[in-house]
Chains A and B, each alone.
Chain A
Amino acid sequence: MTLFGKADCLQVYREAFEQTWDDSEVVDNIRFVVLDTETTGLDPRRDRIVTIGAVVVSHGQIMLEDQFEAVIKFDYNTASVVVHGVTREAAQEDGLEEPDALGQFLGYLRDGVIVGHHIGFDVDILSERCRARFGMGLENRWLDTMELTLNLEDAGAFAQDEDDADEPKRPDFSLDGLCRRFNIAPHDRHTAPGDAFITAQVFLKLLRMASRHGMSTLQDISKRWVDPREASPR
């Protein structure tokens, strides 16, 4: 719990949106919050958040002094324990009550642009839990590194360094695949802070590629990706 309590965190969060980023904002100035959650399952309405890990990217750098991490107490173990490794007992010991954790998180997040790989689910479950606890969902803009990657691919960013041209298949754009492509050591996968940190490193590289391909504003990089086959039906 911060000095000012939950209510202040929520106030800080709300006030942050009074003046926030618009589409034309230059990428460099934006406070991106790269985040990952580990949860008890894949249903945003029924499952619970176990851990949140986040770190800020701004001016093309990961700001290690601006990171967040919380473990939340939850009621029962599910099969997902084998993925993230946080047991109910461990969470009871080190964890915060959910309202406290979410309050602190919102105070940290403020109006940061949320970034993550397949981030939609994380945004959904965070929104769902905030709505349940505070009666309000997330208002943040967000961008999915997966979609950014696909957009960059469509822009031809990956074409030139594709070595095996005789095997023309869609490259592996999973987080593990991107780590391999960008030579990022994927250690600590499947802990929220670990995945957030790895995603942040991937995001730094994607931002450089984006700027080389003329994407310089928030709108440019947060464009939803549309499968060309769906966009222009035969």
Chain B
Amino acid sequence: MKTSSISLRVADFLKSYPPFSYISYEDLVKLSGSGRVKFHEEGEHVFDMGEPRGRHFYVIQQGTVNIYGRNDKGLDELVDVRVEGDILGVYWVTEEQPYLYSAITASDTLLYALPFDKFMPLISQYQDAKRYLADYFSGRHGPADAVSESDAQTGQWLTKSGPSETYGLSRYLSCSPDSPIKDVARLVASQQHQAVVVVDENDLPIGIITEADLCARVATGDISTEAPVSELMSSPVMTVNSELTTGDLLLLMLTHGLRHLCVTQDGTPNSPVVGVVAERELQLFFGRLPNSAGRQMMDAPNATALALLRDRADELLREYLETDANMPFLIEYVAQVDGLVLKRALKMAEAELVSRGLEKPDIDYCWLAMHSEGRKERLLRSSQRTAMVYADPPEESARYCRRWFLHLAEEVTGILATCGFPIDSKGRVASSTDWCQPLSVWKANFTKWVQDPVESQIITLTPFFDLRPVAGKAQLAYALRDHIRSQIKANPSFIPLLANDAMANLPPVTIFRDSVMDKAGVLWTCIDTKVHILYPLVDVARVYALELNEESATNTIDRYKRAAAHFPESAELFEAAAEAARVGLAIQSLIGHRRGDTGQYIRPDELDKVDQERLKSIFRTIVKLLDHTAAHFKLA
């Protein structure tokens, strides 16, 4: 019988909800045609925990179903609320097993019952549907292969293409160091290349010449056209290996202000050249790139110009966010851009102080990013949280140095404020006296905090353990980290206390329709991305990083990846936590950029069903992570 109008109506409904939205209409009609429609009045049990699973699972067509699980004390507790379009009673990669939860209707409810034996083979044909279900069950049963698959797909072009595959490496120009400049200029003029690699007799790179060099120093008459290229070339050359992704290449160019990278066999200058990657080629392949903005930042004449360039970087960031570019790239991208802004601001500030007649002291210093910027997680321009550490000056110049660095920080803080980074309302910035200190004072601070955390109210200070050097002598920051590590070692009660504090924030139990339900069953209108998601993830990650002597990892995703490496038996949980941090940060940043605010409060109806499910699975991961952490640190 080829009659199917009623199946079409069911398929029409399913089509709007994942994972069915990923399945072709034709297949949905077939699936629907093998299903049933069930009706339950309020308060009926659709299925009970421990009951053997039937042939069907359910999709709610209309109504509300409460899901109850059993807690440690053996009591039933509400763990989720399911509404229109939600699925019930699906199992995933686990063997078919009795129901893990009870489902009880909270209103009159119409259910579509669909048979597993038709659904499962269908899902295996649709990667997106499979990935959705893997996410749906992630942290619980998420199969490793589905996760890596999703990484590969969302990574998009930023992770896909290495230079060896895309950029026609065989076509590059080279010359020997004693070739006359005019010959090399002819070579450049006759070809579609902007750069020539200068190689020795073994093809090892020793320098690079670009069109820009020819203009700036030869055409101007500074260097004769008869001179050997060795007088003109930039040396040494920045070399990379052919395995790097496009995203890596972009970041390298951005950080170093380069338009060309030389690819060698093993990535070092000690192996033969295999090609050149030019910014222009990346641009031809991928359109808008951050690099020219990066170069202009370093030349920005004043704070206003710098601010405009920083705005442009955000436009690009938002584009990347909207296209789901991979988070590790974005994290680095923003950190690099803000690093450039800071470096430029420091240069401007120094010049300003010198113009006022102050003399720059010969003392090393390091500008530190704290809080989210320290973790490279500030994808929105939130308040500055910075600090300055400088080498202990000789006693006679201590007061002058202090004055210089405070003035310097004040100038920089002002420029950053012009660039759209508000000054922290509690004054936790490098320009305030507390946060601009010589190394010995910083060490003493951390000693006190670690030795007497309760008295110091450590809970308000934890973000200072996310310190990251941004400009100046990084060794100062490393010295500080070493000091923190030795203090923590000497005070074994510190880490458990920090772990205990990390338990302060709990995620909600679930979200549905336009409501967020917390552990106590209270309904809220918004998800608080900070309190519900990022704080618990960030705080727990920090505890592990400090416990495992991984203080060089300040980024939360990175911290969990390292924890996974330390604890192979719990690697799955830590990988899930890294993924949760990635998604949480992405959602907060995207919504924040769309709305032009902090992205802290998100209404459930601002998210599509897929993102709602992602968040729910993140909530579950966080709860598991907190449980695991409590057990690991033997918290009561």
Instruction: Show the binding face of A for B, using Cβ within 8 Å.
Output: 53, 55, 60-65, 67-70, 104, 108, 182-185, 187-188, 191, 193-194, 196-197, 200-201, 204-205, 208
Which residues of chain B in 28-53 are interfacial with respect to chain A, using CB atoms and an 8 Å cutoff?
32-39, 41
Interface string of B1-12 (1 = CB under 8 A from A): 101111101100
Residues in chain B near residue A188, CB distance under 8 A: 9
A137 to B38, CA, bound (A): 33
Count the B residues whose beta carbon is within 8 Å of the partner chain — how many?
21
Residue B108, interface by CB 8 Å: yes
Q: Is the CB of A201 within 8 A of B37?
A: yes
Q: Is the CB of A204 within 8 A of B37?
A: yes
Residue B369, interface by CB 8 Å: no
Residues in chain B near residue A208, CB distance under 8 A: 39, 41
A11 to B41, CA, bound (A): 40
A197 to B6, CA, bound (A): 6
- Given A193-B5, A197-B9: A65 in contact with B34 (beta carbons within 8 A): yes
Residue B306, interface by CB 8 Å: no
Instruction: Give, as a whole number of angstroms, the nearest-CB distance from B304 to chain A.
Output: 57
Q: Is the CB of A205 within 8 A of B108?
A: yes
- Write the chain A residue with the least CB distance to B7: A64
A61 to B37, CA, bound (A): 5
A38 to B62, CA, bound (A): 28
- Given A53-B5, A67-B6, A69-B3: A182 in contact with B36 (beta carbons within 8 A): no
| 10 A-B contact pairs sorted by A residue (CB < 8 Å) | A60-B39, A61-B37, A61-B113, A68-B1, A69-B3, A183-B108, A194-B9, A201-B110, A204-B39, A204-B110
Among all A-B residue pairs, the 7 with the closest Cβ atoms: A69-B3, A193-B5, A62-B37, A204-B39, A61-B36, A197-B6, A64-B35
A62 to B9, CA, bound (A): 13
Q: Is the CB of A68 within 8 A of B34?
A: no
Residues in chain A near residue B35, CB distance under 8 A: 64-65
A193 to B1, CA, bound (A): 14
Residues in chain A near residue B62, CB distance under 8 A: 183-185
A92 to B62, CA, bound (A): 38
Q: Is the CB of B5 within 8 A of A194?
A: yes
Instruction: Give, as a whole number of angstroms, the nearest-CB distance from B447 to chain A.
Output: 66
A202 to B343, CA, bound (A): 70
- Write the chain B residue with the least CB distance to A207: B39
Residues in chain A near residue B36, CB distance under 8 A: 61-65
Residues in chain B near residue A191, CB distance under 8 A: 5
Residue of B3, B41, B62, B113 ringed by the most chain A CB atoms within 10 A: B3
- Write the chain A residue with the least CB distance to B8: A193
A67 to B108, CA, bound (A): 25
Could you say which of B4, B38, B39, B110 contacts A67, with CB atoms under 8 Å apart? B4
Q: Is the CB of A68 within 8 A of B3?
A: yes
Could you say which of B4, B34, B37, B39 contacts A69, with CB atoms under 8 Å apart? B4
Q: Is the CB of A67 within 8 A of B7?
A: yes
Instruction: Give, as a whole number of angstroms, the nearest-CB distance from B454 to chain A.
Output: 56
Residues in chain B near residue A182, CB distance under 8 A: 108
Residues in chain B near residue A197, CB distance under 8 A: 6, 9
Could you say which of A70, A184, A193 contacts B6, with CB atoms under 8 Å apart? A193
A197 to B34, CA, bound (A): 15
A53 to B38, CA, bound (A): 20
- Write the chain B residue with the least CB distance to A192: B5
Could you say which of A60, A64, A183 contacts B32, with CB atoms under 8 Å apart? A64
Residues in chain A near residue B10, CB distance under 8 A: 64
- Given A65-B34, A68-B1, A70-B3: A201 in contact with B39 (beta carbons within 8 A): yes
Other A-B contacts than A53-B5, A53-B6, A196-B6, 5 sampled, CB-CB below 8 A, are A67-B3, A67-B7, A182-B108, A191-B5, A201-B110
- Given A184-B62, A204-B39, A205-B39: A64 in contact with B110 (beta carbons within 8 A): no
Instruction: Give, as a whole number of angstroms, the nearest-CB distance from B26 to chain A.
Output: 16
A188 to B9, CA, bound (A): 9
Residues in chain B near residue A185, CB distance under 8 A: 62
Q: Is the CB of B5 within 8 A of A69?
A: yes
- Write the chain A residue with the least CB distance to B2: A69
Residues in chain B near residue A196, CB distance under 8 A: 6
Residue of B35, B39, B110 ringed by the most chain A CB atoms within 10 A: B39
A70 to B3, CA, bound (A): 7
A200 to B36, CA, bound (A): 11
Instruction: Give, as a whole number of angstroms, the nearest-CB distance from A137 to chain B.
Output: 24
Could you say which of B5, B33, B38, B110 contacts A65, with CB atoms under 8 Å apart? B33
A53 to B35, CA, bound (A): 17
Instruction: Give, as a whole number of angstroms, the nearest-CB distance from B451 to chain A.
Output: 64
Q: Is the CB of A61 within 8 A of B38?
A: yes
Residues in chain A near residue B4, CB distance under 8 A: 67, 69
Residue of B5, B10, B32, B35 ringed by the most chain A CB atoms within 10 A: B5
Interface string of B94-108 (1 = CB under 8 A from A): 000000000000001
Instruction: Give, as a whole number of angstroms, the nearest-CB distance from B63 to chain A.
Output: 8
Residues in chain A near residue B108, CB distance under 8 A: 182-183, 205
- Write the chain A residue with the least CB distance to B35: A64
- Write the chain B residue with the least CB distance to A197: B6
Residues in chain A near residue B1, CB distance under 8 A: 68, 104, 108
Q: Is the CB of B5 within 8 A of A64?
A: no
A188 to B7, CA, bound (A): 13
Instruction: Give, as a whole number of angstroms, the nearest-CB distance from B116 to chain A.
Output: 15
- Write the chain B residue with the least CB distance to A69: B3
Residues in chain B near residue A63, CB distance under 8 A: 36
Which residues of chain B in 111-138 are interfacial with respect to chain A, using CB atoms and an 8 Å cutoff?
113
A193 to B9, CA, bound (A): 9
- Write the chain B residue with the least CB distance to A205: B39
Residues in chain A near residue B110, CB distance under 8 A: 184, 201, 204
Instruction: Give, as a whole number of angstroms, the nearest-CB distance from A10 to chain B.
Output: 17
- Write the chain A residue with the least CB distance to B112: A64
A67 to B5, CA, bound (A): 9
A66 to B32, CA, bound (A): 11
- Write the chain B residue with the least CB distance to A51: B5
A200 to B6, CA, bound (A): 11
Residues in chain B near residue A69, CB distance under 8 A: 3-6
- Write the chain A residue with the least CB distance to B31: A64
